[in-house]
Homo-oligomer: A and B are copies of this chain.
Amino acid sequence: MVTLKDIAKKCGVSVASVSKAINHMPGVGTQTAKKIRETAKSMGYLPNAAAQALKTNRTFIIGVLLEDDDSHGLLHQFFVSVLESFKIKMEEQGYDLMLMNRTVGKRTISYLEHCRYSNMDGVFVACIDFSDKELLELADAGIPMVTIDHTYPGHPSVYSDNVDGISKAVRYAHKLGHTRIGFISGALAGVTNKRFEGYQSTLKELGIPYRDEYYKVSRYRDVSLTKKLTADLLKLPQPPTCILMPDDYAGLGGLSAIREAGLRVPEDISVIGFDGLEFMAHISPRLTTINQDTQQIGEAAAELLLKQIDNKGKEALPAKSIKVPVTLIEGETVVLPKKG
């Protein structure tokens, strides 16, 4: 391992000069600096992250918190897509991503402890249970943090325009002739409330009365619960002709309930998803869905987090929240309803 000392020896200068030269700091002659940098390169010098971190209190490590109830956060296509985009942006700025956990070395530690132990410069949170005490603790610790789909006081966050998302879905269904539009939402949470708001207000605007029996609360990504609730909707004396699903993945449960009821999509009943997951484009029938722009979400999150980090120590930034537009992807699962 090549150290500053080695370079100093070879160049016949002091470590201090080498450090200055390599970091492009003032206080070294242009010639000396050049020579130092050249020998450093030729010797294959790389700074030692641990030493730098110890000295500067900056690690350039960002903690990533991606967990769901089954702690399989990495299997959530949507969040992982956001993470990919976030990752690219952060890496451009020299940051590394570290997966967070609560079990460092046999015994359990909290997220906050993990964060402190590793000296993380910031945290990316796209967890689902935002009411987790440990998350609240983390949010209160004053560590730069950005969240997706939830806002903690004092921290920036990024959302899709959920109100508009459901609104687009309802309008689209209505345009194709539907008035009996059911909505199976994810579990209650900020995002879910927004979507419900979009559902109710758009129905109202369109002059369609809201029917309580057309609204069900499922859980995001929960195929079997969504399947059951879809079956329940289908059993109503006057079932909806179009159903909005919590998300594309959970929607698979909806499709399967419809199939098992002996009905066809879209001939007998229309379906709209949410997310715009890549793989849905490859299955039949192609799901009509509300697309969340994961790339933009990830990039926005990176920007906000970087700003927080740069600002650390100074007076608090106003915690900005960015809303990202959504689009409707026309698939094959919505058509004119049959006369009922």
Contact = CB atoms under 8 A, between A and B. Distances in A.
Interface of A: 1, 46-51, 53-54, 59-61, 72, 74-75, 77, 80-81, 83-84, 87, 91-94, 96-99, 101, 103-106, 113, 116-119, 223, 249, 252-253, 255-256, 259, 278-279, 282-284
B117 A46 contact: yes
Contacts of A74: 74, 80, 83-84
Given A74-B74, A284-B256, A105 B93 contact: yes
- Assembly of this chain: how many copies? 2
Contacts of A256: 282, 284
B98 A98 contact: yes
Which one of A49, A255, A278 has the highest number of Cβ atoms from chain B below 10 Å of its Cβ? A49
A104 B83 contact: no
A230 B317 CA distance: 56
Contacts of A259: 284
A103 B101 CA distance: 25
Nearest to A92: B103
A178 to B, nearest CB: 24
A49 B116 CA distance: 9
A283 B248 CA distance: 12
21 contacts: A1-B116, A46-B116, A48-B54, A49-B119, A50-B54, A50-B59, A50-B119, A61-B98, A74-B80, A74-B84, A75-B278, A91-B103, A96-B98, A96-B99, A97-B98, A249-B279, A252-B282, A252-B283, A253-B282, A255-B283, A255-B284
A81 B92 contact: no
Nearest to A100: B96
B91 A104 contact: yes
Contacts of A87: 99, 101
Contacts of A252: 279, 282-283
Given A74-B83, A92-B103, A113 B46 contact: yes
A97 B92 CA distance: 20
A118 B49 contact: yes
Contact of A94 (B83, B93, B104, B249): B104
Contact of A105 (B59, B75, B94): B94
